[in-house]
Chain A
Amino acid sequence: MTALEFSLILFVTSIAAGLLGALSGLGGGVVIVPLLTVIFHVDIHYAIGASLVSVIATSSGAAAAYVREGFSNIRVGMFLEIATTLGALVGAWLTTRVPTHAIGIVFGVVLLYSAYASVRQHHDALTRNPDALALRLRLEGSFPTGPDRHEDYVAQHVPAGFSLMALAGTLSGLLGIGSGAVKVIAMDQAMRLPFKVSTTTSNFMIGVTAAASAGLYLRSGYFAPALAMPVMLGVLLGSLVGSRLLVRVHVRTLRIVFALIIVALGVEMIINSLRGAL
């Protein structure tokens, strides 16, 4: 295979990953590493480098669309970014110490969990309990429920949410992903924030979290320019198209299809890691 063919195949595959990632709400980053390692036999360190830049591109590229909806909460996001960036420092450091097969197994487990989280049903259990810590940190807000109508919310269980965010950041740094699934869990399950607020705020946080791993990735030589180029451009293009298509397709069916792909990749990654073939 020539360099040109390899780049084109990666580009087309990455467009598909970005498209599916946007349509399913999981983000394209989560499938880039398994695709590169399992199908294209790329070393996992180069794969997480290429994935990380795609994740930053997707998060920043989608920001405009999310802001217009008026759901994201910049205070909640900024406060929790202290946890995710500190976690990312730990995670990125771990990539330089932990053996490849261990990273592969953790990745496989995260994939299986993400697949489950994407098809799970959501029930907003809104609480307006005046949580003292949340109020002092101003982790509250309101979101539009209709024309001229707003619903107020206050975060609950701030320490639990903060800890889960540190975990999300660690996984992001270790695996080169956005860990959107864990971020959403921290906000909508632990902190009881409305689901729509959780997902849009999570997207806003992903770029900052990922940037905290980038310095060490750069110095460790994980960014292979010729590999990252088609992947980053493809995922960005796919996710921009995907976020515009979102309203027109049946999301539930797509989610299940994407979840099945992710399960297959997750199982493949765990098996390959155990066989030492990653």
Chain B
Amino acid sequence: MNPNTPGANPQSSAWTDLRIEIWVSIMLRTGVLLAAAIVLTGGILYLGHAHGPRPDYRHFHAEPAHFTTLSGVLHGVAALNPESIIMLGLLVLIATPVVRVGMCIVGFFFERDRLYTIVSTIVLLILLYSLFFHK
């Protein structure tokens, strides 16, 4: 029997899966804290500049192009635009679950679990499609 089958040998299978999960959780926490630090930096800069009344979010009009594309955000960050820095933090945050799936592909590959290497790859492909092509 495949030694990685969960239930067949709880000790050894729990250990390898657990190792993937621990690596993943360290990455997720690091990613979230990094994202929060960037958002906070942008937020402090934004509040330092914002003296007017609260922005009106009552009616939806899509955010301008420099907040809706990766290149637009990066240009804004280069110009030290506070809101662009906040957006960069949000993009780092959105990337963390995607990296997580990538790490699972590697983990399952080293566990020689072909089925779940494929399953994780399918999930990653759906995510990459959603991030770059979904209309």
Given contacts A89-B130, A138-B6, contact A7 B100 (CB under 8 A): no
Please tell me if A39 contacts chain B, counting CB pairs below 8 Å: no
With most chain A CB atoms within 10 A of its CB, the pick from B7, B57, B61 is B57
* Cross-chain contact B14 with A75 (CB below 8 angstroms): no
28 A-B pairs (CB sep. < 8 Å)? A2-B50, A3-B54, A4-B50, A41-B57, A43-B57, A43-B58, A44-B60, A56-B93, A59-B97, A64-B26, A64-B28, A75-B119, A79-B119, A81-B101, A82-B126, A85-B126, A138-B115, A142-B7, A152-B7, A212-B130, A214-B130, A224-B57, A225-B90, A226-B86, A228-B90, A229-B39, A229-B86, A230-B43
Given contacts A78-B116, A210-B97, A229-B86, contact A57 B58 (CB under 8 A): no
Q: Which of A21-50 contact B (CB under 8 A)?
A: 40-46
- A53 nearest CB neighbor, chain B only: B90
Rounded to whole angstroms, the CA-CA distance of A61 and B69 in the bound complex is: 26
* Cross-chain contact B29 with A208 (CB below 8 angstroms): no
* Cross-chain contact A43 with B60 (CB below 8 angstroms): yes
- A65 nearest CB neighbor, chain B only: B25
Measured CB to CB, the residues of A under 8 A from B are 1-7, 40-46, 53, 56-57, 59-61, 63-64, 66-67, 70, 72-75, 78-79, 81-82, 85-86, 88-89, 92-93, 137-138, 140-142, 150, 152, 154, 207-208, 210-216, 218-230, 232-233, 236
Measured CB to CB, the residues of B under 8 A from A are 5-7, 10, 14, 17-18, 20-22, 24-26, 28-29, 31-32, 35-36, 39-40, 42-43, 46-47, 50-55, 57-64, 67-69, 83-84, 86-87, 90-91, 93-94, 96-98, 100-101, 104, 113, 115-116, 119-120, 122-123, 126-127, 129-135
* Cross-chain contact A221 with B62 (CB below 8 angstroms): yes
With most chain B CB atoms within 10 A of its CB, the pick from A44, A67, A88, A152 is A67
* Cross-chain contact B36 with A57 (CB below 8 angstroms): yes
Pairs A-B, 4 closest by C-beta atoms: A221-B62, A6-B54, A3-B50, A221-B63
Rounded to whole angstroms, the CA-CA distance of A234 and B69 in the bound complex is: 25
Q: Which chain A positions have C-beta within 8 A of B122?
A: 82
* Cross-chain contact B130 with A88 (CB below 8 angstroms): yes
* Cross-chain contact B25 with A63 (CB below 8 angstroms): yes
Q: Which chain A positions have C-beta within 8 A of B57?
A: 40-43, 46, 224, 227
* Cross-chain contact A70 with B36 (CB below 8 angstroms): no
Rounded to whole angstroms, the CA-CA distance of A86 and B64 in the bound complex is: 28
Given contacts A78-B123, A138-B6, A219-B68, contact A64 B134 (CB under 8 A): no
Q: Which chain B positions have C-beta within 8 A of A228?
A: 39, 86, 90
Given contacts A63-B24, A224-B63, contact A1 B54 (CB under 8 A): yes
With most chain B CB atoms within 10 A of its CB, the pick from A42, A216, A218 is A218
Q: Which chain A positions have C-beta within 8 A of B123?
A: 78, 81-82, 85, 208
Q: Which chain A positions have C-beta within 8 A of B17?
A: 74-75
Task: Report A64 CB to chain B, min CB distance, Å.
Answer: 4
* Cross-chain contact B115 with A93 (CB below 8 angstroms): no
Task: Report B8 CB to chain A, min CB distance, Å.
Answer: 9
* Cross-chain contact A214 with B94 (CB below 8 angstroms): yes
* Cross-chain contact A142 with B20 (CB below 8 angstroms): no
* Cross-chain contact B134 with A75 (CB below 8 angstroms): no
* Cross-chain contact A74 with B21 (CB below 8 angstroms): yes
* Cross-chain contact B29 with A63 (CB below 8 angstroms): yes
* Cross-chain contact B6 with A207 (CB below 8 angstroms): no
Contact check: which of A44, A89, A150 meets B126 at CB < 8 Å?
A: A89
Task: Report A152 CB to chain B, min CB distance, Å.
Answer: 5
Q: Which chain B positions have C-beta within 8 A of A214?
A: 94, 130-131
Given contacts A225-B42, A229-B42, contact A4 B47 (CB under 8 A): yes
With most chain A CB atoms within 10 A of its CB, the pick from B29, B36, B113, B134 is B134
With most chain A CB atoms within 10 A of its CB, the pick from B39, B42, B53, B101 is B39
